[in-house]
Structure 1
Amino acid sequence: MDADSVLAMPEELSIANVTEWQQKLGSYLNAADSIVLDGEKLTRVDTAALQLLTAFCLKAQTLQKAVKWINPSDSLVKTACQLGLEKILSLKND
């Protein structure tokens, strides 16, 4: 994997595919020098997905890797904000 590659998120990240994405995110985290997630297509996200993304972002912090989003979907931002996770997920920097 290219050190500066972008990981495109699926249209749906939910309990139905969270195990698959746990593996993909883990591999990406270990291989990438910079963490860039493209959330443009992510139209459905549930609490299992937000748990996964939270764990991913916290693990990235322990590895001293910053997580950056390209075009996070309104659905992702709205759901994360409702649960108070926007800062942990690096969706808002303030």
Structure 2
Amino acid sequence: MNRLDPHPAGQPAAPVPLDPSTRKALRTLDRARPLGLARITGGFKGIAGHVDADTGLALKDQGLARLDYSGHYPRLKITRAGRSALKKGAPR
């Protein structure tokens, strides 16, 4: 089975400017470190807050977050690229 990637192998995806909802979701994921947000119906939820499914999966597709399947429920966790994108943006 071939994996379909939106960008060629070996080249990173083009950086996307962060809109306010994406920045808010990244801040929520950063506060939820190291546990992340557990998958629920319609999104991801944890002690730090809630991220809807569309925003969470968009972050995953951009490489700013990842899904961790090691526990009982899949968890959305911020990546190093997500933390650096959050730092590069406008002040909190």
Q: Same fold (TM over 0.5)?
A: no
Instruction: Using CA pairs under 8 Å that are at least 6 residues apart, name the structure with larger relative contact order, 1 or 2.
Output: 1
Between structures 1 and 2, the one with greater strand share: 2
TM-score, normalised relative to structure 1: 0.28
TM-score, normalised relative to structure 2: 0.28
Between structures 1 and 2, the one with greater helix share: 1
Q: Which has the larger radius of gyration?
A: 2
